[in-house]
Amino acid sequence: MKLNLKLIILLAVISGMTLSCKKYLDVTPDNVATIDYAFRNRNEAENYLFTCYSTIQNMGPSNGDAAFTTSGEIYFPNTLTEATLGNREAEQGFHLIRGVQTTDNPSLNYWDGEQLGQPIFKAIRRCNIFLENIDRPKDLPQFERNRWIAEVKFLKAYYHFYLLRMYGPIPLIKQNLAIDAGTDEVRVKREPVDAAFTYIVSLLDEATPDLPRTIQDPARSLGRITQNIALSVKAEVLTTQASPFFNGNPDYTGFKDKDGTNLFPAAFSAEKWNKAMLACQAAIKSCEESNLSLYHFTSPGNLPTIPAPLKTVMDIRQSITENWEKNAEVIWALNPEFGLQSMAMPRLTNAMVQNMGGAPGNFAVPIGMAELFYSKNGVPITEDAGYDYRGRYTVAAAGTESKYYLKTGYQTIKMHMDREPRFYADLSFDGSCFFGNGQTDPENMLYVQARGGTSLAGPKDNIRVNVSGYWPSKLVNYQSVFGTEVTQSSFRMPLIRLAGLYLLYAETLNEVNGPTADVYTYIDKVRTRAGLKGVKESWTSYSTNPGKASSKDGLRAIIQQERRIELCFEGRIGWDLRRWKVMQDVLSKPLQGWNIQDTTPEGYYRQRNLVIPVFGLKDYLWPLKYNDLIVNPNLVQNPYW
């Protein structure tokens, strides 16, 4: 890895931009020759601040996000005749589960590649340039200087954290090298993961006091870092450090650098869970004192009265797709709009089928994900004593009792019946109702007709289904309309929302103290919004394993499934599966879909393999590019590559 400060300066420093604060996160740095110009006054220094933000704005859930594409929650076919994500390179992340990752040219290469238009290490060095020179502007008030320094320290911490989750041990770029640095200084080493976690937390602790608790002028500054964001990220960082992958992982006990230094801790530390618990507690306290709360849908005046079952569905859907300014649940989101609604949208009408460019709908949710959601009793369908699990693929007609979820009288399977509200809020499938796409009469909703794989009334080559038969319609705003013309109601995908923080706190509480009243309290906050009874009541009343919620191991499994359901498709679970060290188990079975070409329900509801995932121990961490190891002989490759 070659560190060239002159090149960094040329790429990073902004020249005379006059941009509104509203657009500050969209800045792309121009080439300027001198640092003196970049920090000659407050205005130029602020422009440079915005360049420090520029990389992070491309790090949200998308086709380039390591967690979003590799979790197995969404399958993307490799047989499409058109590159519906724009180009074939944009599909690479989804195909990593096929075992195509290489050390010659790694996919999603954030180490030194151009996945974000620039390597993350370059973004870190840009932050260092800012911190080294922000004392220069004479017209910058000290209180504002302190806030900007805090923001950049946070960004520097987050960039390191992103790399740490992907690569494990990383070099810590605490300061930029001098232009005349010698070869030995340039050839940096990878630091042990605990040293990296400690450094990241120290930056967050330094930043937090000088950040505002919340943004007071959202029209101008929404998206800039706050105390609530910094505290919540610290909670995620420490929980990641305490989790099995990074805390006494026996698979990495022999991972050393060339000097023999252990890069992973050999022993488990319970104290790490305690630190994570306290960090979650502090983040929740700050967020609640700032009046953040779980989202509940308020119908605008142009909508009819929403029946209770559908209201619960909208509470869940809109917790993701509501405008950030109106959504008190969102702790942190990035300013770019989520650009993949069309990939998650089911094809509901002939106009949508004919205009496939408007809604290609190629994000396919595997059957296994559909089975992950609970029964209506709030327990796994494999454990519900009253649920016909063996007969779940039996075809039956939907009854009137589920008319706000399923088209009454439609022939579907029992697995689609008697499920929890999040199942219907997050997924669209054959026979499911869809509130939105211009049709918002609860008594006359559009519904999916997916069987046969051909259009409702058009040419045979216009398909109306994706390859699995399930769409992640949680990622579609109900006000978006796809048809002959397309009108998308934009939203920003949350990176952290309060429901996720509650479940993170419950996880740490259980690891520290085992099942206690507080653990149930924070899980049940999320379950109540989802229309479910509390954990203890649900397992005691309905589960074939009623004692599961009363043991530490059992409650751990419940919390993990709760997070996988609540946060599915949001780009969070890919990181969770890695830190829990369960990704191999999750991807040990084929990803399956329905027999979409068959027109009969009996023929359609036959499982077929979409892909047999390839995921081994080596795939928990990304490989370093082979050429990087040649250029810098102090670097060591990740294990098993």
Q: Give the integer Cα–Cα distance in Å for 157 and 37.
A: 26
Name which residue leads in pLDDT, 17 or 564.
564
Closest to 566 (Cα-Cα) out of 316, 380, 324: 316
Going by pLDDT thresholds of 50, 70 and 90, the confidence category of residue 57 is confident
pLDDT at 330: 98
Q: Give the integer Cα–Cα distance in Å for 380 and 66.
A: 28
Cα–Cα distances in Å, from 54 out to 12, 49, 126?
Answer: 10, 9, 10
pLDDT at 32: 40
Asked whether the predicted pLDDT for residue 33 surpasses 70, the reply is no
The domains located in the chain, with CATH, are 5-66+108-296+624-631 (1.25.40.890)
- Among the ranges given (406-415, 462-471, 501-510), the one the predictor scored with the smallest mean pLDDT: 462-471
Asked whether the predicted pLDDT for residue 406 surpasses 80, the reply is yes
Closest to 54 (Cα-Cα) out of 30, 89, 18, 86: 30
Q: In terms of DSSP H, where are the helices of 472-551?
A: 498-513, 517-529, 535-542
Asked whether the predicted pLDDT for residue 26 surpasses 60, the reply is no
Asked whether the predicted pLDDT for residue 457 surpasses 90, the reply is no
| Angle formed by the axes of helices 552-566 and 517-529, nearest 10° | 30
Closest to 49 (Cα-Cα) out of 71, 74, 27, 73: 27
Asked whether the predicted pLDDT for residue 539 surpasses 70, the reply is yes
CB contact set of 250 (below 8 Å; sequence gap of 6+) = none
Let me know the angle formed at the C-alpha of 370 by 390 and 60, rounded to the nearest 5 degrees.
160
- Tokens standing for residue 354: 């004919």
Q: What residues form DSSP beta bridges with 494?
A: 333
User: Using one digit for the tens of pLDDT, what is the confidence trace for 583-619?
Assistant: 999 999 999 999 999 999 999 999 999 999 999 999 9
Q: What is the average per-residue pLDDT within 386-402?
A: 97
Start-to-end C-alpha separation, the chain: 19
* Region for residue 487 given its phi and psi (left: phi exceeds 0; alpha: psi -120 to 50; beta: otherwise): beta
pLDDT at 114: 67
Q: Give the integer Cα–Cα distance in Å for 56 and 151.
A: 12
CB contact set of 259 (below 8 Å; sequence gap of 6+) = 189
Asked whether the predicted pLDDT for residue 527 surpasses 90, the reply is yes
pLDDT at 348: 86
User: Using one digit for the tens of pLDDT, what is the confidence trace for 115-136?
Assistant: 666 689 999 999 999 999 999 9
pLDDT at 82: 85
For residue 382, what is the DSSP state? T
- Among the ranges given (160-174, 297-311, 462-476), the one the predictor scored with the smallest mean pLDDT: 462-476
With residue 271 as reference, give the H or E element that holds it: helix 270-289
Q: What is the average per-residue pLDDT within 191-207?
A: 98
CB 579 within 8 A of CB 240: yes
- Tokens standing for residue 3: 């560190």
Going by pLDDT thresholds of 50, 70 and 90, the confidence category of residue 35 is confident
CB 471 within 8 A of CB 363: yes
CB 639 within 8 A of CB 624: no
Cα–Cα distances in Å, from 351 out to 220, 439, 455, 484?
Answer: 39, 14, 10, 5
Asked whether the predicted pLDDT for residue 104 surpasses 80, the reply is yes
pLDDT at 351: 66
pLDDT at 186: 86
Q: What is the average per-residue pLDDT within 28-38?
A: 61
User: Using one digit for the tens of pLDDT, what is the confidence trace for 306-359?
Assistant: 999 999 999 999 999 999 999 999 999 988 999 999 999 998 877 676 665 578
Residue indicated by tokens 């309060």: 498
Q: Give the integer Cα–Cα distance in Å for 434 and 479.
A: 11
Q: Give the integer Cα–Cα distance in Å for 196 and 77.
A: 37
pLDDT at 14: 27
- Tokens standing for residue 546: 């009623």
User: Using one digit for the tens of pLDDT, what is the confidence trace for 482-512?
Assistant: 988 889 999 999 999 999 999 999 999 999 9
pLDDT at 536: 98
Sign of CA pseudo-dihedral 318, 586, 113, 170? positive
For residue 406, what is the DSSP state? B
CB 39 within 8 A of CB 83: no
Q: In terms of DSSP H, where are the helices of 359-408?
A: 367-372
pLDDT at 117: 64
Q: Give the integer Cα–Cα distance in Å for 184 and 561.
A: 48
Percent of the chain with pLDDT over 90: 80
Average pLDDT over the chain reads: 90
pLDDT at 15: 27
Q: Give the integer Cα–Cα distance in Å for 377 and 238.
A: 33
The DSSP-derived string for 412-477 is EEGGGSSB-HHHHHH-EETTBEE-BTTB--TTS-EE---TTSS-SSS-TT---S-SSSEE-GGGS-
Going by pLDDT thresholds of 50, 70 and 90, the confidence category of residue 81 is confident
Asked whether the predicted pLDDT for residue 60 surpasses 90, the reply is no
pLDDT at 25: 30
Going by pLDDT thresholds of 50, 70 and 90, the confidence category of residue 641 is very high
Q: What is the average per-residue pLDDT within 369-398?
A: 98
Is 641 strand, coil or helix?
coil
pLDDT at 183: 77
Q: Give the integer Cα–Cα distance in Å for 53 and 121.
A: 14
Asked whether the predicted pLDDT for residue 1 surpasses 90, the reply is no
